[in-house]
Amino acid sequence: MVKLSDRLQRLADEVQAGETVADIGTDHGLLPIFLYENHIAAKVILCDINEGPLLKAKQNIEAYGAFGLTDLRLGDGLGPLEPAEVDTVIIAGMGGLLMAEILGADLPKSKSFAKLVLQPRNAPERLRRWLCGNGWQIRNESLVREGRYICEIITAAPGAEEQREAGQEAAGGLDYEISPLLFRKRDTLLIPFIEKKIKTEHEIIKNIEAGSGKADHGRIRLAEERLEALNGLLKKARETV
Ligand SMILES: C[S@@+](CC[C@H](N)C(=O)[O-])C[C@H]1O[C@@H](n2cnc3c(N)ncnc32)[C@H](O)[C@@H]1O
């Protein structure tokens, strides 16, 4: 039986028993193998834009004896899928902007899937903004550690954008970056997640000040504004989690 990393396990946890699933950019195929072996998904389609990863997935399917997984498709984004062919589309381990591009390539098709499970490697705030601006509602958020990173998992469904929390907007509009849902869920990684962002802003200021003498005052001002907002959110997180 395949043992998933915490990150892949958290993605798997977003799939409900009996759902049909497509894993876009499947690479190693371990998530589909887990969903199949544990009889979680009724059907899993493995998709990738490159042949090499699909070959790797095939080798893993054989190594784990998951011979029922036969639906491997080569293609870009959602291209290999028919509209509404599966309940849940998982896209993990790619950049947030690439995910938005994949979903935006054919909006009616993208919205024909009941659920998206997304784990952007970067630009998560831009992906969230894009999702909310293009007719998805963010239904769940969770954080999971992978090495020195804290990964963000976003579950979305077609629907109207959720009401933003006024307090979050007042705290510098960081709610696309630090989801209000993480506060509501009291996510145990919320405090280290915010602390990491605070550390990054301090480092940015330090690096600019230690630079050539031509200090980037605009970026320093932005970092200071962000620090104020982040410290407000950290205080709220400490009171909440
Ligand atoms: C870093 S791997 C992530 C693998 C796996 N999803 C995970 O989270 O562990 C990214 C995979 O996405 C595939 N990929 C990149 N762009 C793609 C696209 N536009 N459509 C489908 N697959 C894509 C790559 O070939 C690669 O196998």
DSSP one-letter string for 120-182:
ESS-HHHHHHHHHHTTEEEEEEEEEEETTEEEEEEEEEESPPPPPPHHHHHTTSGGGTS-HHH
Going 83 to 40 to 184 to 238, the CA torsion angle's sign is negative
Provide residues with CB under 6 Å of ligand 1. 24-27, 47-50, 53, 76-77, 92-94, 102
pLDDT, residue 216, reads 83
Question: Given pLDDT bands bounded at 50, 70 and 90, which one contains residue 173?
Answer: confident
Total Cβ atoms within 10 A of residue 92: 22
* Cα separation values, 91 from 81, 120, 214, 228, Å: 13, 8, 42, 33
Q: What is the mean pLDDT of the chain?
A: 93
Extract the tokens encoding 124.
């998560």
Between the CA of 113 and the centroid of ligand 1 the distance, in Å, is: 19
Tens of pLDDT along 190-238?
A: 999 999 999 999 999 999 888 865 668 888 999 999 999 999 999 999 9
pLDDT, residue 167, reads 42
Pick the more confident residue, 212 or 122. 122
**Whether pLDDT at 169 is above 60:** no
Residue identified by tokens 């919205």 is: 111
pLDDT, residue 175, reads 86
Q: Is 111 helix (H, G, I), strand (E, B) or coil?
A: coil
pLDDT, residue 166, reads 42
Total Cβ atoms within 10 A of residue 48: 24
Ligand 1: which of 50, 74, 109 to mutate, judged by most atoms within 8 Å of the beta carbon? 50
Q: Is 22 helix (H, G, I), strand (E, B) or coil?
A: strand
pLDDT, residue 68, reads 96
Q: Is 48 helix (H, G, I), strand (E, B) or coil?
A: strand
pLDDT, residue 161, reads 62
Q: What is the mean pLDDT of residues 71-98?
A: 98
**Residue identifier of the C-alpha nearest atom 14 of ligand 1:** 25
Q: Which atom of ligand 1 is nearest to the CA of 26?
A: 6
**Whether pLDDT at 168 is above 50:** no
Ligand 1: which of 4, 45, 49 to mutate, judged by most atoms within 8 Å of the beta carbon? 49
Question: Given pLDDT bands bounded at 50, 70 and 90, which one contains residue 170?
Answer: very low
Q: Which of 69, 157, 75 is nearest to 111 (CA)?
A: 157
